[in-house]
Structure 1
Amino acid sequence: MTLLALTGGIASGKSTIATMLAERGAVVVDADAIVRDVQSPGSPVLAAIVAEFGGDVLRPDGSLDRPVLGAQVFGHPERLATLNALVHPAVREESQRRFRAAFDADADAVVVYDVPLLAESRGTGEWDLVVVAHAPAEQRVQRLVSQRGFTEADARARIAAQVGDDERLALADVVIDTAGDVDATRRQVDDLWERLRA
């Protein structure tokens, strides 16, 4: 049984790597999907968010209005820390449950935790391997602009709001360089997979 953390800054190619690992047989647990699940209508986490940030963060259907909440916390470290304190414990509990379920189903499973904010959450203790997807910041800016419709200013602000590349790379047991084409990334994933299955 292998538990691998896969992280990377926004537009680093992390999701592409996760998909490639899943194609090779890994069980991928997506932290962003867990965040959405624990913030679903009727959840204790959503109730706590509304109590802290106000009813304006809800859409008419009772779901979380992420852009509205994001505007309240983006660029406000103390507000972001408050939000994280509400969300992270539930995400941690649910991710642990999903890891256990994967290993109960297959004791030899390779479980990949696709987690954007590993460096920010300081969660490094339990992993057999930490893999960091990496591309230069300027290339990530261009990806955000061309592929996700960001303005250049918004792209730079999103990258600046995350921990720096040096801090993220310091966590890495393996770095997958995604600056090249998809075939170059795939070759690195193949090498990683061989290492994991060895």
Structure 2
Amino acid sequence: MMVLVSVAPAILAIRSLSRSFGVPVRDHLNWGAWPPVTSLFPGKMFLVGLTGGIASGKSSVIQVFQQLGCAVIDVDVIARHVVQPGYPAHRRIVEAFGTEVLLENGDIDRKVLGDLIFNQPDRRHLLNSITHPEICKEMMKETFKFFLRGYRYVILDIPLLFETKKLLKYMKHTVVVYCDRDTQLARLMQRNSLNRDDAEARIKAQLPLKDKARMARHVLDNSGEWSVTKRQVVLLHAELERSLEYLPLRLGVLTGLAGIASLLYLLTHYLLPSP
């Protein structure tokens, strides 16, 4: 009876996870059969893609979300992490592009690699095919950690969210930190000590903020007083936090983990023969 009571939560949780993830129970031991990030936690926990433009105030907005206790993942940090020496993406990049892309310490020379794929769609596609799956794996790991800790949603800070479109399919909500062109120009000139021509050139090198705003589900207008922007962030956070549909699945996962731990304890201490 003790075994049945201990194992039951694990069985129930696995069946619940199977229904939620859309993966047959027998496939749960096959990690390759698990669904991509886009189908994880459907209707339960979700991802929010946040982007902006140069001098739009995205970093300041991210800080407010963090002060509110939100989970934030910086995709640029992940992208740099997965190509470090010793990681699969690093090895495959060297195999594909040669040792000329390496610095003396073994790190990837991002400038050299960038030059190699510049105006070379085939090479760019090859690089993306190497790095994108690894980035998604790390995203899923970090997201699952936040899920177990009870977060309603996770913000992904993605500078080129709408330019590359690679991660858009994973986002339930998209947010753009916007400011008007004159404000953006003035802030950039002051922040980076640039003349007008240089500042305008940097802004023109990016997708216009007005275009990003049209594509986003939510727009945080940072053109005016900071207090107004901060209030927009607080209101958006409240809107995203409002639903609590994810709690039953989370409780099921935690119960399942407890049941599996109980089963392992019984197996190792009572059911398996001593060596």
TM bin, normalised by shorter chain, reads: 0.7 to 0.9
The equivalent position to 2:74 in structure 1, one of 16, 20, 30, is: 30
* Amino acid across the alignment from 1:44: P
Residue of structure 2 in register with 1:168 after alignment: 212
* Amino acid across the alignment from 1:43: Y
Answer whether contact 2:92 2:130 (CA < 8 A) is retained: yes
* Structure 2 Cα separation of the partners of residues 60 and 132 of structure 1: 39
Alignment of 1:1-198 (within 5 A): 1-73=45-117, 76=119, 78=121, 79-106=123-150, 108-122=151-165, 123-137=167-181, 139-141=183-185, 143-148=187-192, 159-198=203-242
Higher Cα Rg, which structure: 2
Answer whether contact 2:178 2:210 (CA < 8 A) is retained: no
Structure 2-normalised TM-score?
0.60
Residue 81 of structure 1 deviates from its aligned partner by 4.0
**Change in CA separation of 1:34 and 1:60 when aligned onto 2, cut-off 3 Å:** same
* Structure 1 Cα separation of the partners of residues 171 and 77 of structure 2: 20
Which segments of 5 or more consecutive residues in structure 1 lack a partner in the other structure? Answer: none
Larger mean Cα displacement after TM superposition, 79-88 or 149-158? 149-158
- Write the deviation string for residues 27-59 of structure 1: whole angstroms up to 9, x where unpaired: 101101110110111222122333344433322
Partner SS state of residue 9, structure 1: coil
* Structure 1 Cα separation of the partners of residues 200 and 124 of structure 2: 19
Q: Which has the higher helix share?
A: 2
Structure 1-normalised TM-score?
0.80
* Structure 2 Cα separation of the partners of residues 51 and 137 of structure 1: 44
Q: Which has the higher strand share?
A: 1
* Structure 1 Cα separation of the partners of residues 130 and 75 of structure 2: 15
Which segments of 5 or more consecutive residues in structure 2 lack a partner in the other structure? Answer: 1-44, 243-275
Answer whether contact 1:6 1:130 (CA < 8 A) is retained: yes
* Structure 2 Cα separation of the partners of residues 153 and 63 of structure 1: 35
Over the aligned positions, Cα root-mean-square deviation in angstroms equals 2.9
